[in-house]
Amino acid sequence: MVSVSVHSHRAWFSLCFTSFLLTGDYYEKELNPGEAVKIMTGAPVPASADTVIEIEKVKAEKDTIIIESPVKKGSNIIFKGEVMKKITLAVCILGASTLFASSSLVTKAKQSGLEAIPASKVELMKLIDDKKDPITKEKVELGKKLYFDPRLSKSGLISCNTCHNLGLGGADGIPAAIGHGWTANPHHLNSPTVYNSVFFKAQFWDGRSPHLADQAQGPVQAGPEMAAPAPLVEQRINSIPEYVDEFKVAYGKDVKIDFATITKTIATFEKTLVTPSKFDDFLNGKEKALTAEEKKGLTLFIDKGCTSCHTGIALGGTMQPFEVASKYKFTNVGDFKGDEKGMVKTPTLRNITETAPYFHNGQIWSLNEAVKEMGSVQLGIEISDAEAAQIVTFLKTLKGTKPAISYPQLPESSIETSKPEFN
């Protein structure tokens, strides 16, 4: 699924790569004559480029490509609003397959953008920890209590775990989240899993939060969710002596227990919800971690072009264009259309077998059906029942080992603790 975006339509040229553009990324600079950008299928063509060349039609030498045959201006460009032709994608997919033909499957997977959860705890901490606010045992334990505490909601009935149930794959198992006063999400949005969310480049379906600490503030305050204004949350936590003591242990005696500190503590706990699987063992060098059938499924997953969106450690979690090739058959359920650019956060595929129903509006319950729908909507190809089953065989390898979590005993309220409100 790799192509070359070129500033010139002339032939027999040697061009220099300036960047590698993933699907959903934008190239902000202007290409100069003699320069090219390598892009994934579905990525926006740079404004200064007028031609796309399939990778198999050029020779690559390190950071340089050689064009050996004439190229027609405007080739292989799909304008916004146009239907993406199957043949265009097929050509690009074949290009990726050819590119990786001589490589091992591990190399092929890594070159497709797939990454493993590090086997080493030291290496993992480099990815998830924040030097300015380091992860400590005390913060994690306190964050866990807050995560499970329904008193962070206006009604005293809803906790973070209500919609992101750690016993249900980190989701809630229903099409649209239900919040305060039995209110269904007004946009009919499905609750994404919290597991491995530390690896997401963006939070929420519209990507409006950059990290977990910021994300944690939204649902607590949102009217259709936990509906608790920040002052109410602060009052309840500060009125509970045991919580005050625990915050002092975690952050020091002079800690200010405000809304930001409360929610970032929840985020610290969420950072630890990492689930390594046998797929990670495979990428980390244990070739026999996957069976022959699982490897076939992984190969098909790559060759079909699924890695154009489902990449990185999370196999998702980045903002990508949606309905690239055709309309999603349940697009009219709810009014969510993405961010201001029409981009939608790609769901993680880790533990995907545990997080049905699928898509942003939770309309598809079968994983096999979801795979086929993605083929049509995003890739413009038909994935057969047999192919979908083979890909699902691979997806099952992404079910990881969950961290052991015991339900915490929550500290008791005091007479000063604000009472539940149900209106």
Q: What is the pLDDT of residues 220-278, one digit of tens each?
A: 999 999 999 999 999 999 999 999 999 999 999 999 999 999 999 999 999 999 999 99
**419 assigned to some structural domain:** no
**420 assigned to some structural domain:** no
| CATH code of 9's domain | 2.170.190.11
CB 410 within 8 A of CB 365: no
The answer on 109 and 75 residing in a single domain is: no
The answer on 55 and 8 residing in a single domain is: yes
Residues annotated as catalytic are: 225
* Residue 80: predicted pLDDT: 55
The answer on 150 and 89 residing in a single domain is: no
Helix crossing, 385-395 with 367-374: angle to 10°?
110
**156 assigned to some structural domain:** yes
H or E segment at 302? helix 292-303
The answer on 234 and 191 residing in a single domain is: yes
Look up the domain containing 298 and give its range.
105-118+276-398
CB atoms inside a 10 Å sphere around CB 104? 10
The answer on 225 and 161 residing in a single domain is: yes
**Neighbouring C-alpha atoms within 13 Å toward the C-beta of 221:** 13
pTM recorded for the entire structure: 0.77
**405 assigned to some structural domain:** no
**341 assigned to some structural domain:** yes
SS3 for 368?
Answer: helix
**350 assigned to some structural domain:** yes
Average pLDDT of the chain, as a whole number: 87
Provide the domain count of the chain.
3
The residue among 244, 271, 298 that closes a domain is 271
DSSP-derived secondary structure for 137-160: HHHHHHHHHHHH-GGGSSSS---H
**139 assigned to some structural domain:** yes
**125 assigned to some structural domain:** no
| CATH code of 156's domain | 1.10.760.10
Give the pLDDT mean for 114-126: 97
The answer on 221 and 141 residing in a single domain is: yes
